[in-house]
Structures are given as C-alpha cells and as structure tokens.
Amino acid sequence: MDFIWYADVFFLTELLRNYFLLCLTAAFEKRNTFRLRLILAAAAGSCGSILFLLIPALRRPVCIPAAAAALGSLMVFLAFPINGKRAAVRLLGFLFASAAVISGGLSFFRQFFYLTELESLLCMGAVMAGLAAFFCAAAQSRRLGTLRYPVRLYYRGKEKEFMALADSGNRLREPVTGKPVSVISYEDCRGFCDTLSAVFCIPYRSVGKEQGMLTGIVFERMEIFRDSGVLTVEKPVVAVAREPLSADGSFTMLLPEELVI
C-alpha cells in the first residue's frame, strides 16, 4: 500500500505539537520566555522530525533514544535560557513529561471524536489556552489582596503620592454617580487638601460597624502606576477615613479592585 506524504502538512503539525510541548514545559517549570524563541525551537524540532523520517539509520531501535534526547536538548536550549547542566536536565525531563501528556490528549481526541492529527492538535491547543486563562485569572485574583501601586493625586495645583493597596473588599460607591471610591487617611491629607471647595458624605458599612459616614472629596486627577503603564482617572472620588489604613504603614491608600484589574 502506497501513501502520499505531504511535507508541509507534516511540518505544520509537528510545529504545533512542539510549540504546545514547549508551552507546557514552561508551565511546569514556571518560566517566562519569549514567544519567538518557542516558535524557533518548535520549528527546529519539526525539521529534526523530518530528518528522522528521511534518514532510515535514525529509526533503528538503538538510535531512537539518542536521537530523541538530542532533538529535545536542541529544543530546550533554543527555547529557554539555561543556567547549568542540572537546569538543562530538568527542562529536558519536563519536556518528555509534556510529550507524554500531549500524546495522551491527542489519543483521546482521535479515539473518541475521530479527529485527524491536526484537528486533535487544534482542540488540544484550545483546551490548553482555556486552562492557561483560568489559572492566570485565579492567580491574579489571589494576588489582588497583596498588590501595591504607587498613586499620585492632584488637587488645586498640588500633588501627592501614596502607596495604595488593591483592596478586593472595597465596594464603596459614590451614591449619586456610582463611581468607585478610593480611601485615604485624614493624617495624609494635612498640608495637601486642607482647603476644600466642597465635600459630601459617603455611607458605608464595615465589620463591627452597622453604618457610618465618610467624607468624600473629588480630586482633579489620579494616576495609578501599574506594570502595564499609567492609568489616569479624571475626577476620582476619594473618601477620607479618620483611622490609619495600615498598622505598619505599608500602604496609605485603598483602591477598588476594579480600577486595577
């Protein structure tokens, strides 16, 4: 029986498989890498697979483990920065473990959904992308209670910087406009906004206090310095609390989490 072998389809299939292998390896190792490096490493692995098919000597049983180790090492060195032999061996082990996981997933899609190799790879990629998005969202949710952001407030030609905590429990809203409300302490307002043109009251509830009122101020502008860039909020609403916001002084402002997500 004769078969027609399409080198371009084989290369594309192997490219996707190797790319998913390297992404899973990076996830196992908890490493950040450049996407271009992963693509180049995956392409090198695809070229190696083509050579493996074209050179019969490489398919001998005694040569298969050495060829697999050599090709895997090449992909690892191209995809990740290596610090020593131990790190290289660990990455190679994670690569082989990822290959076992990917092979099992592809077999599942082929056996139960009767998909082709390329279709199975695309489905596997969709599953991996969904899992990655889920775990990234979960990690961000866990970090929100610990993240600090430098914040700069502007009022009547003056400016002052605060270290703000992204508070997931801050649900304060200005009752008329519905804007989210940040919180600063009274001590930090001294010398910055002593003279106010207008203030208003913001009702709130907290643990141990059924109901209370906070003094609200509309500032001219607020800048939040994040890793992705500076977020500017025009006319931000900020409440002033009488008590200090942190016992150790690690932050002097509370931000609603929706401003930094």
What per-residue confidence (pLDDT) applies to 99? Answer: 86
Task: Please give the Cα distance from 236 to 218 (Å, whole number).
Answer: 6
What per-residue confidence (pLDDT) applies to 138? Answer: 60
Report pLDDT digits (tens) over 19-63.
Answer: 988 988 888 887 777 889 999 999 999 998 888 888 888 778 878
Give the pair of three-digit tokens for residue 61.
């049983």
If you average pLDDT over every residue of the chain, what do you get?
82
Report pLDDT digits (tens) over 114-125.
Answer: 888 778 888 888
Q: How confident is the model at residue 139 (pLDDT cuts 50, 70, 90)?
A: low
Mean pLDDT of 60-71: 84
Mean pLDDT of 2-26: 84
Q: Say yes or no to pLDDT of 223 above 60.
A: yes
Report pLDDT digits (tens) over 176-212.
Answer: 888 889 998 888 777 787 676 667 888 877 655 557 7
What per-residue confidence (pLDDT) applies to 3? Answer: 67
Collapse the DSSP code of 230 into the 3-class scheme (helix H, G, I; strand E, B; otherwise coil) and give the result. Answer: strand
φ and ψ at residue 202, rounded to 5 degrees: -120, 115
For 126, the enclosing helix (H) or strand (E) is helix 117-143
Task: Please give the Cα distance from 75 to 43 (Å, whole number).
Answer: 9
Q: Say yes or no to pLDDT of 64 above 70.
A: yes
Q: How confident is the model at residue 234 (pLDDT cuts 50, 70, 90)?
A: very high
Q: Say yes or no to pLDDT of 230 above 80.
A: yes
Give the whole-number percent of the chain exceeding pLDDT 90: 11
Task: Please give the Cα distance from 127 to 105 (Å, whole number).
Answer: 10
> Strands 237-241 and 181-185, how do they pair?
parallel
Task: Please give the Cα distance from 189 to 73 (Å, whole number).
Answer: 59
Q: Say yes or no to pLDDT of 140 above 70.
A: no
DSSP letters along 58-107, please?
GGSTTTHHHHHHHHHHHHHHHHS---SHHHHHHHHHHHHHHHHHHHHHHH
DSSP bridge partners of 256: 167
- Contacting residues for 150 by C-beta, under 8 A, at least 6 apart: 161, 162, 163, 164, 224, 225
Q: How confident is the model at residue 222 (pLDDT cuts 50, 70, 90)?
A: very high
> pTM for this structure?
0.53
Q: Say yes or no to pLDDT of 153 above 80.
A: yes
What per-residue confidence (pLDDT) applies to 221? Answer: 92
Mean pLDDT of 231-246: 87
Give the whole-number percent of the chain exceeding pLDDT 70: 89
What per-residue confidence (pLDDT) applies to 177? Answer: 83
Supply the DSSP symbol for 121. Answer: H
